[in-house]
Amino acid sequence: MTAPSRCPPQAAPLPFSSTDRRSFLRGAGLAAAGLFSQHTSSAFGLSNPSVQSVPDYRIEIAEVEWELAPKKKIRTTAYNGQVPGPLLRVTEGKPVNIEIVNRLSREEIVHWHGQWIAPAVDGAMEEGAPMIPAGGRTQINFTPRPTGLHWYHTHAMAGRDLKRGLYSGQFGILYVEPRNNSGSYDQEQFITLRDWEPFYSASDDGSLMVQYASASINGRMLGHGDPIRVRAGQRVLFHIVNASATEAHWIALAGHRFQVLALDGQPVTTQAVVDTLRLGPAERVSTVVTMNSPGVWVLGEARERFRNSGMGVVVEYAESSGKPQPAAPAPLHWDYRAFGDAQPVVYKPDVTVPLVFTSRFEGHGALDRWMINGKSYPETDAVVLKEGLRHRLIFDNRSMDDHPVHLHRHSFVLVSIKGAVMSGVQKDVVIVEAGTKVEADLIASNPGDTLFHCHQQDHMNEGFMTLFRYA
């Protein structure tokens, strides 16, 4: 053990290189042309509506009819008329100004997931960020940090309405480029996983749960989007976001393996190579694949039933043809420790914060009520943080469900998984498997109210949230 570190978490640049600017512009859709323009906002926060600075981006929230596949259209709410919303590519430390226009007849809010920013612009009303009124607009400024793969999405509560909140199409990727960008890759692909057409399913064994009739990658069902075209020998960098409201997903690329570079945008200390990626809701993986197996393949869910629902995209080598081949069924295995330090180094915490997750059964035809330390939000007791101290968060999941828990405006370093010590993996979402414990260190370095919650929309709605407050 060494002395406790008081340093705020720092993100190193990912070990890969330059941006494919054309693909960015393609993805940006309706993003404003003044993408990297200078502006005068000096502090992050809400802009004075009377001061109409030129935004770097404009996001318009509106209803849309979206074609997942020919003859498969859904009505949802989306950003800028597209699913996913435009790719926002910003630079570490360079302030960005974003205008958000709400065309809906209800209030909305946009959360900047993974960013170490102020509560006023983080996009969670529980932290004090204002909702955007129906038909209203707002303009926000913040300085992007940390670097890497993040995302933005609605943080409005859905209640029991399966058309709202994260069940809708309100999500997009926020990519924060490091100032110094080294390394190499030949092609960069942004991937969003999404489940669609949710419905409640009652069970005589468990409780009411949300299931889905269809799924997509980048807004298209398998076989209906443009294939990812590659050449033998290329190194392709995939940035993958699980934007599902409730489902964890296992991703495989038949005939290939993934070298994991970063989790939740944060570089890992061991770039382990794996056959399958697991992403809980809101988790992100940046991974490079060496294209060394010519053919036509499916990048998608490792489990057939999800692939059949549409979660996949075709990866096509030049001069290859034929029916896309999915990955063969294989055991699904994921261990965060594989990406950490070979010799874990764990610091002594200043404060220990136990967080016990339990549920209350409300009937096989009802959603469980969720509790943190015995209470459901908003009755939960706030966790008090002391600035500069190392807090050991003990996620003690005593329920029968896995929980992808997320801390706003901060990252934490994983310290142990199921009792096994680890270090070297920094995240803002971690899956705490049923009946297990995960420990993570948080250095309180970003004052202001901070929301902590399970990222499953149905669990959030049923009380699985609490606030962290600075003393």
Residue 296 CB neighbour total at 10 angstroms: 16
Please tell me whether residue 362 binds other proteins under the rule CB under 8 A: yes
Asked if 366 interacts with other proteins (CB under 8 A), we say yes
- Indicate which single residue of 332, 345, 382, 420 sits in contact with other proteins (rule: CB under 8 A): 332
Look-up: residue for tokens 């989306």? 78
Q: CA 16 from chain center: how many Å?
A: 21
**72 sits near other proteins (criterion: CB under 8 A):** no
The only residue of 361, 398, 420, 470 in contact with other proteins, by rule CB under 8 A: 361
Q: Rounded CA gap, 116 and 95, in Å?
A: 13
- CB 332, CB 251: distance < 8 Å: no
Rounded distance between C-alpha atoms, residue 363 and residue 360, angstroms: 9
Q: Which is nearer to other proteins, 376 or 399 (CB)?
A: 399
CB of 209 to other proteins, least distance (A): 11
Q: Is 434 in the site for other proteins (CB under 8 A)?
A: no
Please choose, out of 54-62, 152-160, 196-204, 233-241, the segment that lies near other proteins by the rule CB under 8 A.
196-204
Q: Is position 202 an interface residue for other proteins (rule: CB under 8 A)?
A: yes
Residues in 222-251 at the binding interface with other proteins, rule: CB under 8 A? none
Label each residue of 252-266 as H, E or C. EECCCCEEEEEECCE
Q: Which residues are paired to 75 by β-bridges?
A: 65
**Residue whose CB is less far from other proteins, 6 or 163:** 163
Q: How far is the CB of 304 from other proteins (least distance, A)?
A: 4
Is residue 161 a contact point for other proteins (CB under 8 A)?
Answer: no
**Does 62 engage in binding with other proteins (CB under 8 A)?**
no
Largest interatomic CA distance in the chain:
62
Q: Give the list of residues 6+ apart from residue 389 with CB closer than 8 angstroms, or none.
A: 4, 6, 350, 351, 443, 444
Which of the stretches 134-142, 260-268, 269-277, 358-366 binds other proteins when contact is defined by CB under 8 A? 358-366
Min dist CB 402 to other proteins, Å, is 14
Binds other proteins (CB under 8 A): choice among 6, 93, 182, 213? 213
Instruction: Return the amino acid letter for 386.
Output: K
Residue 206 in the binding site for other proteins (CB under 8 A) = yes
Report 367-396 residues binding other proteins (CB under 8 A): none
Q: Are 105 and 163 in contact (CB under 8 A)?
A: no
Q: Is 139 or 457 the residue whose CB approaches other proteins more closely?
A: 457
In the list 2, 305, 322, 419, the residue contacting other proteins (rule: CB under 8 A) is 305
For the CB of residue 273, give the shortest distance to other proteins in the complex, in Å.
22
163 belongs to the binding site for other proteins (CB under 8 A): no
Complex with other proteins: residue 247 or 316, whichever CB lies closer: 247
| DSSP letter (8 states) at residue 7 | S
331 binds other proteins (CB under 8 A): yes
β-pair partners for 314:
298
Q: Using the rule CB under 8 A, is 205 a contact of other proteins? A: yes
411 neighbors 326 (Cβ within 8 angstroms)? no
Alpha carbons 284 and 258: distance in angstroms, whole number:
14
Per CB under 8 A, the list member of 133, 159, 329, 435 interacting with other proteins is 329
Walk across the sheet containing 249-253 and list its strands. 228-230, 312-317, 296-301, 249-253, 276-279
DSSP letter at 409?
T
Residue 364 interacting with other proteins (CB under 8 A): yes
Terminal Cα-to-Cα distance of the chain (whole angstroms): 27
Burial of 351 (0-12, 13-18, 19+ CB in 10 A): middle
Q: Which stretch binds other proteins (CB under 8 A): 93-101, 128-136, 298-306, 408-416?
A: 298-306
Q: State the nearest-atom distance from the C-beta of 360 to other proteins, in Å.
A: 10
Question: Of 362 and 379, which has the nearer Cβ to other proteins?
Answer: 362
Q: Does position 10 bind other proteins by CB under 8 A?
A: no
d(CA 459, CA 402): 11
C-alpha to C-alpha distance for 6 and 9, rounded to whole angstroms: 9
Regarding 159 and contact with other proteins (CB under 8 A), the answer is: no
Phi-psi map region of 445: left, alpha, beta (phi>0 left; psi -120 to 50 alpha): alpha
Q: Does 197 bind other proteins (CB under 8 A)?
A: yes
199 binds other proteins (CB under 8 A): yes
201 near other proteins, rule: CB under 8 A: yes
Residue 363 found at the interface with other proteins (CB under 8 A) = yes
Q: Concatenated DSSP letters for 233-248?
A: T-EEEEEEEE--SS--
Nearer to other proteins, 152 or 250 (CB): 250
**70 counts as binding other proteins under rule CB under 8 A:** no
Token pair for 343? 């010799």
Interface residues with other proteins (CB under 8 A)?
197, 199, 201-208, 211-213, 303-305, 329, 331-332, 361-366
